[in-house]
Structure 1
Amino acid sequence: MCGITGWVDFAGLAPDARSVAEKMNDEHVHRGPDGYGIWISARAVIAHRRLSVIDIDHSAQPMLLPGDGPAPDAARLVLSYNGELYNYRELRAELAARGHRFRTAGDTEVVLAAWAAWGPRAVERFNGIFAFAVWDTTDETLWLVRDHLGVKPLHYHHRGERLVFGSEAKSLLAHPDVPVAVDEDGLRHLALPLLKFPGTSPYAGIAEVLPGTLLAFSRNGVRARRYWDAADLISRPPAPDDVATAAGELRALLADTVARQTLADVPLGTFLSGGLDSSAVTALAGRLPQRAGVASFSVDFTDAAGDPHSRSAQDRHHAREAAAFIGSDHHSIVLDSALLADRAVRDATVRARDLPNGFGDLDMSLLLLSRAVRGHVTVALSGEAADEILGGYAWFQDPSAVWAETFPWIADSPAHGHLHQRVLSTLHPGLLDRLDLGTYLRDAYATTLGRLGHDPALSKDERRHREIIHLAVTHFLPTLLDRKDRLSMANSLEVRVPFCDHRLVGHVITLSRAVHHAGGQEKGVLREAVRDLLPASVVDRRKSPYPTSPDPDYARRLRDQLTTVLADPPPGLHDLFAPHVLDPARITGAARSHGLVSNFEGEVVLNFASWLRQYAPRLAP
């Protein structure tokens, strides 16, 4: 993958434009350590950092398409592209038949040639994960484009005649005209870390291009168009309740998707937790002749308590069992408490995400896992999105979550470890009163469901199941995709997500609840689709959350860090958190192993302290 950034200013560029562009581009060096480039004209700056995955020695960016006018060397189109186009070979052949003469062997030139041939409608032909910027010099329009599910990030800041864009917020914040500020809505988003509000960012003035969207900026301002929307698919009548047919179609789609996504000119592996989703992806990858004995990776923890029933111990057992059955070259990455609790690791994790939102040591472990995996491969496949599109979480089935009149994973239910309530309990009462999160959540929930249409023949249960699929795809899955992208790309590791293939998603989310839960198990249709690929213990295993460190030494180290932070807290910390959370006498209660995420309250405080120290944001008064 790569990092893209730049801006367009119809008032003209300042004299220091190149130095600003270099600074912004350098913020993405982790996304693209293998190459860089900057293109500048009178009104536009297009910059790029490259991670070489396909056509390693060529396909440098920004990539230009020359015009046909009196100055043949002048650029007609300028492209800065982040992503992978999995059907680029088919598109390349079609474009070559139309007369395009290719100079490179990669997918970047295919994107450029497709845009030249078909304009913005080219994106409707793309299968992949991508975020890119195209500057069209003929009509001076900047196009920003994001993939169907929003796997790859793309932020922008628009004010008057200027629009600044970048893969990560840090590149925009490096521009002198983009403030490092958080307004009241931004504070609401920080207080609701389990929800992603599409198109928004906690930073004032910074938005995201919506998934499945084309955004154009010209002298006439900004306009956007959705080219793909999961809501349109979910609103369709359900497919017949035929488990065998649905499983067969899912197997064919998943196999094709995995085959496409293993295309790379660099070493490739998979994340293998021992759960159903990652095991299915690894098994299908390992069946490909060119990927026999594919490298697989799982995370493990030192456990001073030696509990064989801990989540990490169970995952360790199932990952090894799956790897042995599949025949993958498996690597168990063991993290000890000293490394996991290292302040530099937390700072790097917060820096990777540009925000304090996170899931405690789950984030640090993913950062460290990605760092270790990058020592072996450049590309890895992962199982994200299967639970959201197939109803795999407990909150798809627990009545107290299913029928709550809110996003089910933040309902006051054990289905998600009461994490939402635990977050709220840490915040300053005055801040909670000012933000009025209850009203904000009700409005967001109603607006989201208001976008759905439903077949009147649907039963109450079926209608609610579809609503939760929609809520999960639009407001929960993006938090996981953001997390995986930032923490893997912080280590220059490209992660691909086969379950986010838009063809597969389109098939699965129109299936009925009965098919999703075939055999009385969550993701029953997926279990049937891959049953012959995996050991029965993995196929029939119940959903297990991402593991958290079971080592009590980690909690002790966390308490020591809290003591240090509270002795000299950064400005703003006392305005955000309740007095009892920042009371040194209660540190033991803030760092303890319990629930879905251990040490949660202490983790939240330490994350915010790191963010306030590193970014010094201006918070809404």
Structure 2
Amino acid sequence: MCGICGWVDFRGNLDQQRETLDAMCETMACRGPDAGGTSFHRNAALAHRRLAIIDLPGGNQPMTTETPDGKVSLVYSGESYNFTELRSELRTRGHRFETDSDTEVVLNGYLEWGEGVAERLNGMYAFAIWDARVDKLVLVRDRMGIKPLYYYPTEHGVLFGSEPKAILANPLAEKVVGVDGLREMFALTKKPGHAIWSGMAEVEPGTVLTVDRDGTHQHTYWKLEAREHTADAAETSGHVRELLDDIVSRQLISDVPRCVLLSGGLDSSAITALAAKQLESSGERVRSFAVDFLGQTENFVADSLRDTPDGPYVHDVAQHVNSQHQDIVLDPRTLADPAVRRAAVGARDVPLGLGDMDNSLYLLFKSIREHSTVALSGESADEIFGGYKWFFDQRAREADTFPWLAALGEEHTSGESVLDPALAKSLDLPGYVDAEYRNAVRDLPELAGESSFERKMREMNYLHLTRFVRMLLDRKDRMSMAVGLEVRVPFCDHRLVEYVFNAPWSLKTHDGREKSLLRRATSDVLPRSVSERVKSPYPSTQDPNYAAELQRQSKELLTANDPAAELLNGEWLKKIVERPAEQVDTTMRNALERLLDVSIWMQQHNPAIKV
């Protein structure tokens, strides 16, 4: 895992821009703490920060090869889990290798297949190739959008980077956030290709984008397609298990210590159990980590999202698979520490107001990094197998909008209600969300003969796989890479995604419960308590002392007339900070989280807001 950035200028000599490229690269030092490098060509400059995972001595970048017609240079972030097979195939085609890294396989794959190399990769990746033979930049992003990649067209070329902050470090990039940027910040949607910052865009998942002297061009090499599924429940769940066994085996490959993230839910527990089984043959115990909050289990109160605390289920799994387990227990003071919030907001580049859920994830990853460099996660199973409660909510099913917005409402999204009334009217979030929903369903793949109900459920799956999951994957990447931890997501293997997407909803819920296929496919390796557990989202602290600390910090900002308050509903926020902490409900707490996040974000970037 790494960070990449670069600059193409077809009218300039970028060899004179070393200081600027170094500044761009330095913003991603956390993504690659092990090494850094640059490569300069007349019209292109590439930079790389490395987190060494595979072939520690041999995978340094930028990686360049000489051809009779000119140089080809690569900067690469991610992992290709089928690189050994590809290397063998390339050797039969006459390619020679000097390292054991997957980076060299990707580079030689490009020399052999051109941009078509993207279609042959299985993994999570974002990479850039400067092909001096034809003066062309090639940007490639993985199918599910696990690894980020942004670009910023300029008058004579383009800037690109793993994160917006790398691009913003170049004086050619203006720090401006316009109307659509603000809408994305507060709407809890994910517009494909959007990057919050005006003039900046995101390379879309499953896309190859090229830049040459004639401009920018892109083509999609992968997207979800509707296909007939004829297998029954037993055969389908059996194939799911076969895929998972292969996926976990591939994603455990590492030359550095690895572990699993364990929440006690079906998804992470399945990955933990399958990893434990894979490692058992070599006499190795799987290492697992979980986040918890001080007193959470003893004082837990069920709410609309969470029926049970995670702790007991985490320990059931750890004991069942004999993992080397560690709980990372956080207290309210640590969660609310402004330094932690600054780190979390800085990692994400955008103030989404998730507060303790972002802060705790950052602290969890920071603690894990002291022991491991790679972690496997259960992220994305809910989107693939249909695990969220709102998949079973009639109101969400029938809603003419994104189902998570219909189910969660303002209580959990803290969108329009937190904004300054005049700004809210100007942004028109309901209109924006409606337009984005129409755009999303317009691309829904259809299957002839499918019932209206099955089509609706396919739509719900599709929206989660092309919108909702991308927000979660971006969060996971930013928080983990902020501390130099590589998090792998086995459920995002495109083979599994394609297969389960086309399984009818009647199969996904064949036993009347959520995620029936996954439950059936992995029940033999799980304790019964977890196999039967109902979905519970990522945990959030219920300690009123946390809310009280949010009130205290927010009151200081409001008293100091912080610029963030100008974007938000200041009068409402002032009333919230004066309430007893026990009376601060979810909506109010989320509003305070927004205020604090926006304040830090504005301090860090000093953006020009243009409405």
TM-score range, shorter chain: over 0.9
> Is 1:115 the equivalent of 2:110?
yes
What's the CA shift for 1:212?
0.4
Aligned match of 1:211: 205
Match of 1:453 among 437, 442, 445: 445
Indicate the residue corresponding to 1:362 in structure 2: 357
Deviation at 1:17, TM superposition (A): 0.8
Task: Give distance in 2, aligned partners of 1:27 and 1:369.
Answer: 22
Which moves more between the two structures, 556-565 or 490-499?
556-565
Q: 1:467 to 1:291 in 2, by over 3 A?
A: farther
Which of 127, 131, 134 is matched with 1:139 structurally? 134
The secondary structure found in structure 1 opposite 2:140 is strand
Whether the aligned pair in 1 keeps the contact of 2:14 and 2:45 (CA below 8 Å) is no
| Structure 1 Cα separation of the partners of residues 270 and 199 of structure 2 | 41
Cα distance per residue 1:263-286 (max 9 Å; x no partner) = 000000000000000000011111
Residue from 485, 488, 492 that aligns with 2:477: 485
SS of alignment partner, residue 518 of structure 1? coil
1:96-150, Cα deviation, whole Å (9 max, x unpaired): 1111110001100000010001111111110010000000000000000000100
In the superposition, relative to structure 1, how do residues 290 and 53 fare at CA in structure 2: closer, same or farther (>3 Å)? farther
The AA in structure 2 aligned to 1:33 is P
Identity of aligned residues (%): 44
- Check whether the contact 2:33–2:49 (CA below 8 A) recurs between aligned residues: yes
Paired with 1:204 and 1:123, the residues of 2 have a C-alpha distance of 28
- 1:439 equivalenced with 2:434 (yes/no): no
CA distance in 1, matches of 2:60, 2:433: 45
Aligned to 1:66: 66
In 2, distance between residues paired with 1:152 and 1:460? 35
- 1:314 corresponds, among 303, 309, 316, to 309
CA distance in 2, matches of 1:114, 1:291: 35
Moved >4 Å (runs of 4+): 308-313, 588-598
Q: Secondary structure at the match of 1:519?
A: coil
> Do the aligned residues in 2 keep the contact of 1:241 with 1:512 (CA within 8 Å)?
no
Deviation, 1:400, is 0.8
Greater Cα shift, 281-290 or 517-526 = 281-290
Alignment map for 1:254-269 (pairs within 5 Å): 254-269=244-259
Separation of aligned partners in 1, 2:592 and 2:95: 58
- Single out whichever of 425-434 and 18-27 deviates more from structure 2: 425-434
* Alpha-carbon distance between aligned partners in 2 of 1:61 and 1:15, rounded to the nearest angstrom: 18
1:385 aligned partner: 380
Output the CA distance in 2 between the equivalents of 1:620 and 1:590: 36
Partner of 1:82: 77
Partner residue, 1:532: 524
- Contact 1:33-1:492 within 8 A present in 2 as well: yes
- 1:569 CA displacement: 3.5
Structure 1 CA distance for aligned equivalents of residues 296 and 81 of structure 2? 44
Flag structure 1 segments of 5+ consecutive residues without an equivalent. 70-74
* d(CA) in 2 for partners of 1:536, 1:304: 23
Aligned CA distance change for structure 1 residues 60 and 515 (closer, same or farther; 3 Å): same
Contact 1:362 1:546 in 2 (8 A): yes
8 A Cα contact 2:15 2:42, kept in partner: no
> Which secondary structure state, in structure 2, belongs to the residue aligned with residue 196 of structure 1?
coil
What residue is the counterpart of 1:612 in the other structure? 602
1:314 Cα deviation from its structure 2 partner = 2.2
Matched, 1:154 2:149: yes
Displacement of 1:615 after TM fit? 1.0
d(CA) in 1 for partners of 2:172 and 2:412? 37
Q: Check whether the contact 1:24–1:174 (CA below 8 A) recurs between aligned residues.
A: yes
Decide which of 258, 272, 297 is 2:262's aligned counterpart: 272
Q: Following superposition of structure 1 onto structure 2, how do residues 462-501 of structure 1 map, counting pairs within 5 Å?
A: 462-501=454-493
Aligned to 1:293: 285
What SS does the corresponding residue of 1:599 show, helix, strand or coil? Answer: helix
CA contact (8 A) 1:417 1:595 kept: no
1:578 counterpart = 2:569: yes
Cα gap change, 1:514 to 1:207, in 2 (>3 Å): same
RMSD of Structure 2 on Structure 1 (CA)? 1.8
1: CA distance, partners of 2:566 / 2:580: 18
Q: Is the 8 A contact 1:550 1:593 kept in 2?
A: no
Alignment match of 2:123 (pick from 115, 128, 151): 128
- TM-score (norm. length: structure 1): 0.95
Residue 312 (structure 1) shift: 10
Per the alignment, residue 281 of structure 1 pairs with 271
Deviations 1:138-197 (A, max 9, x none): 0000000000100000000012322000000000000000011101111111121x2111
Q: Aligned pair in 2 of structure 1 residues 281, 457: CA closer, same or farther (>3 Å)?
A: same
Number of residue pairs the alignment of both structures matches: 606
- For residue 48 of structure 1, what is the aligned residue in structure 2? 48
Give the letter aligned to residue 401 of structure 1.
A
2:2 matched residue in structure 1: 2
Q: Residues 304 and 223 (structure 1 numbering): CA distance in 2 closer, same or farther, change over 3 Å?
A: closer
Q: CA–CA distance in 2 between the matches of 1:114 and 1:510?
A: 30
CA distance in 1, matches of 2:179, 2:580: 26
Kindly indicate whether the alpha-carbon contact (under 8 Å) linking 1:63 and 1:80 is maintained by their aligned counterparts in 2: yes
TM-score of the aligned structures, taking structure 2 as reference length: 0.96
Residue ranges of structure 2 left out of the alignment (5+ in a row)? none
* Cα distance in structure 2, aligned partners of 1:57 and 1:591: 54
Query: Offset of 1:453 from its aligned partner?
Result: 3.4
